[in-house]
């Protein structure tokens, strides 16, 4: 009964996140094209608006984490939805400084959403189903990104930014109903805590595991969310500027959006499946194997192969992103459940992944301008292989779980 209730709550918070993501995801497609419509003066301002929300999350993450230590999940989610409603409706306004404030507010909203989801998942899960629930959350909320990009691009082209923003703001309202119906009110003490049996002091291997988890989260976010996502269209343009499919000419930007959309399309079923696989057979074998596979795929990107095989390699990289994101989030939640203060651990993990995602594009364009994409992706391949070797030495420990249901 508890497990069924937990799944319902995770599914609900994933749908809440998806609805809140509609407006933000729309901007990544439409702002580079319709920036003049909202009163911007240059594409440089577009870059600032699309990145400032991530930069804001880095210093605010610990503060919101402290807030969650003292308040319930439902209250934090309500704050997140109200901020999202205000920011999405505000996208109907014009002016760089107005938008800068709106994007900062969205950064706060996303931090409330993400930490609230992590806290809830730790609370309602055990080591036997945590991977499945984390995968379910990651997979379902990506539907908001897919819907925001696809529907947003079509609606803005047809009706303009103002009407589309107000429509997406209206679509955020059902999220409040989901919170009140499915998310149970909780107290800060209602978070699952696990303890290693008979352990008085924190063992050295646990400290090492936490450090490796945080460093891996940072590097994976930098590689996938930062470098790969920001250079995918350029990578395709250098390899094949245009592609003809059924007599239709498709440019590099459209191809990049198709690859990104493919990942968001399969994640609702793939992420829970891989999470469930890790619950049954252990996270470490799948994690290490996927890191080695990712290193191989990144390393082979610039080999002289046919375009069809190259496309399959890009899809393979996207699949490794799905697996590694799910497993790293789950491993971090496993580590957090062993700590007296699980929120502090997940807050730190959230901050370092945000830092990686924010630094990734800066590193990517500096490396591209200085050394070229070949060397940059070769470096990513080397990092993946090294991480895989490091994880071979990490012990996957079990803990005795002491939990209170939300």
The tens digit of pLDDT for each residue in 193-224 reads 443 333 334 443 345 788 899 999 999 999 99
**What average pLDDT does the segment 339-349 reach?**
83
Extract the tokens encoding 85.
């409603």
Give the Å distances, CA to CA, from 332 to 90, 194, 211, 358, 382: 35, 13, 10, 20, 23
Q: At what angle do helices 2-34 and 43-70 cross, to 10 degrees?
A: 160
* CA-closest candidate to residue 349, choices 122, 126, 127: 122
The whole-number pLDDT of residue 195 equals 34
Contact 143, 18 (CB under 8 A): yes
Sort 1 into a burial class: Cβ within 10 Å, 0-12 / 13-18 / 19+: exposed
Concatenated DSSP letters of 35-55: GGGGT---HHHHHHHHHHHHH
**Residue 401, strand partner residues:** 194
Cα-based angle 13, 19, 319 (whole degrees, multiple of 5): 75
Domain count, the chain: 1
Band the pLDDT of 137: cuts 50, 70, 90.
Answer: very high
Kindly report the pTM of this predicted structure.
0.80
Band the pLDDT of 96: cuts 50, 70, 90.
Answer: very high
Coil/strand/helix, residue 86: helix
Give me the phi and psi of 245, to 5 degrees please.
-125, 115
The whole-number pLDDT of residue 187 equals 53
Please state, in angstroms and rounded to a whole number, the distance separating the CA atoms of residues 234 and 101: 30
Extract the tokens encoding 189.
């003490």
| Residue that wins the pLDDT comparison between 145 and 200 | 145
* CA-closest candidate to residue 125, choices 15, 6, 8: 6
**Residue 113, strand partner residues:** none
Band the pLDDT of 22: cuts 50, 70, 90.
Answer: very high
Across all residues in the chain, what is the average pLDDT? 83
CA 302 to chain centre: 27
Task: Average the pLDDT over each of 3-7, 49-53, 324-328, 397-401 and give the range with the smallest value.
Answer: 397-401
Helices (H), 125-186: 130-159, 161-172, 174-182
Please state, in angstroms and rounded to a whole number, the distance separating the CA atoms of residues 13 and 144: 12
Please give the span between the terminal C-alpha atoms of the chain, in angstroms, as a whole number. 13
Please state, in angstroms and rounded to a whole number, the distance separating the CA atoms of residues 196 and 186: 25
CA 61 to chain centre: 15
CA 208 to chain centre: 24
In the numeric block, the tokens 């399969």 are attached to 266
Task: Average the pLDDT over each of 40-44, 54-58, 80-84, 236-240 and give the range with the smallest value.
Answer: 236-240
Concatenated DSSP letters of 240-268: -SEEEETTEEEEHHHHHHHHHHHHHHHHH
CATH number at residue 291: 1.20.1250.20
**What average pLDDT does the segment 102-106 reach?**
95
Range(s) of the domain holding residue 345 = 2-402
Band the pLDDT of 192: cuts 50, 70, 90.
Answer: very low
In the numeric block, the tokens 């709550």 are attached to 9
In the numeric block, the tokens 């503060």 are attached to 63
């Amino acid at each position: 009964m508890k497990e069924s209730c937990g799944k319902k709550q995770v599914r609900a918070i994933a749908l809440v996140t998806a609805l809140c993501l509609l407006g933000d995801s729309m901007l990544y497609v439409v702002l580079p094209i319709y920036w003049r419509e909202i009163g911007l003066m240059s594409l440089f301002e577009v870059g600032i608006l699309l990145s400032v929300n991530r930069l804001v999350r880095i210093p605010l993450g610990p503060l919101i984490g402290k807030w969650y230590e003292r308040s319930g999940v439902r209250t934090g989610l309500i704050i997140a939805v109200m901020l999202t409603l205000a920011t999405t409706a505000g996208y109907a306004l014009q002016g760089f400084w107005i938008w800068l404030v709106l994007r900062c507010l969205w950064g706060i909203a996303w931090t409330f959403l993400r930490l609230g989801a992590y806290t809830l998942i730790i609370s309602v899960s055990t080591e036997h189903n945590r991977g499945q629930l984390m995968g379910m959350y990651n997979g379902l909320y990506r539907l908001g990104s897919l819907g925001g990009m696809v529907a947003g691009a079509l609606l803005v082209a047809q009706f303009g930014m103002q009407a589309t923003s107000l429509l997406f703001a209206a679509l955020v309202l059902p999220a409040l109903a989901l919170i009140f119906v499915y998310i149970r009110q909780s107290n800060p003490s209602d978070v699952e805590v696990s303890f290693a049996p008979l352990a008085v002091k924190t063992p050295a291997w646990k400290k090492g595991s936490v450090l490796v988890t945080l460093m891996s989260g940072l590097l994976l976010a930098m590689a996938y969310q930062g470098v790969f996502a920001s250079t995918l269209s350029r990578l395709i343009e250098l390899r094949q500027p245009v592609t003809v499919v059924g007599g239709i000419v498709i440019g590099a930007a459209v191809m990049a959006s198709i690859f990104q959309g493919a990942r968001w399309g399969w994640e609702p079923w793939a992420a829970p499946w891989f999470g469930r696989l890790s619950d049954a057979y252990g996270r470490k074998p799948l994690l290490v194997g996927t890191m080695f596979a990712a290193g191989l795929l990144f390393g082979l990107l610039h080999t002289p192969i046919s375009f069809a095989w190259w496309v399959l390699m890009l899809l393979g990289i996207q699949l490794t992103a799905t697996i590694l994101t799910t497993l790293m989030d789950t491993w971090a939640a496993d580590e957090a459940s062993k700590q007296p203060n699980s929120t502090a651990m997940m807050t730190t993990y959230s901050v370092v992944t945000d830092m990686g995602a924010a630094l990734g594009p800066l590193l990517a364009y500096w490396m591209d301008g200085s050394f070229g994409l070949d060397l940059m992706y070769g470096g990513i391949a080397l990092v993946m292989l090294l991480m895989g070797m490091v994880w071979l030495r990490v012990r996957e420990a079990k803990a005795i779980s002491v939990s209170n249901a939300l």
